[in-house]
Amino acid sequence: MDITPQASLAAPSSLAAPSSLAAPPSAAAEPHAPASGPAAPLRLALVVGSNREGRFAPVVADWFLVRAGAREDFTVDVVDLAEVDLPTALSGSPRPAVRAELAKVSPRLAAADAFVVLTPEYNHSFPAALKALIDWHYTEWQAKPVGFLSYGGVSGGLRAVEQLRQVFAEMHAVTVRDTVSFRNAGEQFDSEGRHRDPAAPEAAVKTMLDQLAWWGSALREAKALRPYGG
């Protein structure tokens, strides 16, 4: 189920971005902690794909973290691209400053069993910072499921999501069908970050997380029996 509620891409003053995107204590993950077995919670990385000044992303991210954090089948780690400065010029031998930035994110992506990518839509596509994060990595994405949480104007960010599906297919990732998208999101949330009409997005996020849980568990178990050969 798609909820197509993206707002203007700068958060209005009444919807000031929270000071931190850290997951609530019940959802916080140790990104390097190994799973203890097939029944262990899946390590879910929320990738916040916007680093734009005045971004609306923290409002949507905080809404999602409450829902994901209430589940027992996930632990959540937040990879916020506003806290990472990766260049768009790729290199097989990155200089020390770039290695330091990669060290902030690469081990966390590698440790994740599944991803939710939060993206706005800029000019019918997704942000350059998100493409840079994807392109600086490869095996970290392989044989893992990816869900999408988007916001935008009339499209709710779905044009960005459809492009990301093609990119992640090249990375050997599995994108789940159902997304959660917010059309004109500034109108959908109140000044406290609460959704004004939560029934449909609550149902949509449950469906997406259920699909991620199935694929995440299935792929984790498969890789424990046989390493992925992509």
Assess contact for 21 and 58: CB atoms under 8 A: yes
* Tens digit of each residue's pLDDT (9 = 90 or more) over 101-141: 999 999 999 999 999 999 999 999 999 999 999 999 999 99
Rounded-to-integer distance, Cα 146 and Cα 105, Å: 17
Does 30 score more than 50 pLDDT?
no
Q: Write the CB contacts of 75 (distance below 8 Å, at least 6 apart in sequence).
A: 27, 28, 29, 30, 41, 42, 43, 44
As given in the structure block, the two tokens for residue 116 are 């939710």
| Per-residue confidence (pLDDT) for residue 135, from 0 to 100 | 98
Structure confidence by residue, pLDDT tens digits, 190-205: 988 989 988 999 999 9
Is pLDDT at 33 greater than 50 in this prediction?
Answer: no
Q: Indicate if the pLDDT at residue 144 is higher than 80.
A: yes
* Cβ atoms of 144 and 216 closer than 8 Å: yes
Look at residue 29 and give its three-state secondary structure: coil
Asked whether the predicted pLDDT for residue 69 surpasses 50, the reply is yes
What is the pTM assigned to this prediction? 0.84
pLDDT tens, residue by residue, 152-204 = 989 999 999 999 999 999 999 999 999 999 998 889 899 889 899 889 999 99
Report the C-alpha gap between 193 and 38 in whole angstroms. 35
